[in-house]
C-alpha cells in the first residue's frame, strides 16, 4: 500500500501542473481516493491530509475531499485549517449540517468559545432540525453562556 501511495504521489506533481495532460487516469484517481479514504477510516489523519491535498489538486470541486480533510485537521487540533475546509465543503453543498456541526464542536471542545459554538450549532440545525445531538450541544452552550452572564 505504501508503494502504491508513493507511485501515485510521484505522478501527482505533473498532474497538478497540467490536469489535461492525461497523466492521471480516472482509474488512478479512484485508486488514490480509495487509499485516502482508507487512511481516513483508519484514523491516519496526517496521511489522509496528504492524500486529500493531492486529490484537491486534481479536482477542487469535490466537497467530500474538503470535508474529510477538514475532519482530519480537526482530529489533529488544527482548527484554522479544519474550519476553512468545512466552510469550503459547505460552499460546495457537501454535508452542510455536519460541517457546521463539526465547526461548532471545535469551538465547543477545543477552543471553549460557546458563543461561536452556539452560532454554528444553530446553523447546523437549520439544515437538520431534528438532530438531537446538535440540539443538546446547543442547549449546553446556551446554559454555559447564561452562567457567564450572571
Phi, then psi, of 132 in degrees rounded to 5: -70, -35
Q: What is the dihedral of CA 13, 18, 19, 25, to 10 degrees?
A: -60
What's residue 110's pLDDT?
85
Q: Is the pLDDT assigned to residue 6 strictly greater than 70?
A: no
CA 116 to each of CA 1, 38, 52: distance values in angstroms, whole numbers, following the listed order:
41, 32, 27
**Rounded mean pLDDT of the chain?**
88
What's residue 47's pLDDT?
98
**For the ranges 20-24, 98-102, 136-140, which has the lowest average pLDDT?**
20-24
Mean pLDDT of the 95-113 span: 95
Q: Is the pLDDT assigned to residue 148 strictly greater than 70?
A: yes
pTM of this structure: 0.83
> What's domain 26-94's superfamily in CATH?
Tetratricopeptide repeat domain (1.25.40.10)
Q: Is the pLDDT assigned to residue 112 strictly greater than 90?
A: no
Per this entry, what is the length of the chain? Answer: 150
pLDDT band at 23 (very low <50, low <70, confident <90, very high): confident
Domain with CATH 1.25.40.10 in the chain: 26-94
Quick one: which of 128, 127, 105, 132 has its CA closest to 118? 105
Amino acid at each position: 500500500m505504501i508503494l502504491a501511495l508513493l507511485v501515485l504521489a510521484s505522478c501527482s506533481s505533473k498532474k497538478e501542473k497540467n490536469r489535461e495532460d492525461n497523466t492521471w487516469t480516472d482509474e488512478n484517481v479512484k485508486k488514490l481516493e480509495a487509499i485516502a479514504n482508507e487512511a481516513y477510516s483508519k484514523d491516519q489523519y496526517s496521511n489522509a491530509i496528504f492524500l486529500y491535498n493531492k486529490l484537491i489538486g486534481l479536482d477542487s470541486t469535490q466537497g467530500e475531499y474538503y470535508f474529510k480533510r477538514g475532519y482530519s485537521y480537526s482530529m489533529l487540533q488544527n482548527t484554522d485549517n479544519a474550519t476553512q475546509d468545512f466552510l469550503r465543503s459547505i460552499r460546495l453543498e457537501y454535508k452542510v449540517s455536519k460541517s457546521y456541526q463539526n465547526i461548532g464542536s471545535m469551538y465547543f471542545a477545543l477552543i471553549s468559545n460557546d458563543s461561536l459554538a452556539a452560532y454554528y450549532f444553530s446553523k447546523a440545525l437549520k439544515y437538520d432540525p431534528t438532530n438531537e445531538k446538535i440540539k443538546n450541544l446547543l442547549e449546553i452552550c446556551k446554559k454555559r453562556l447564561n452562567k457567564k452572564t450572571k
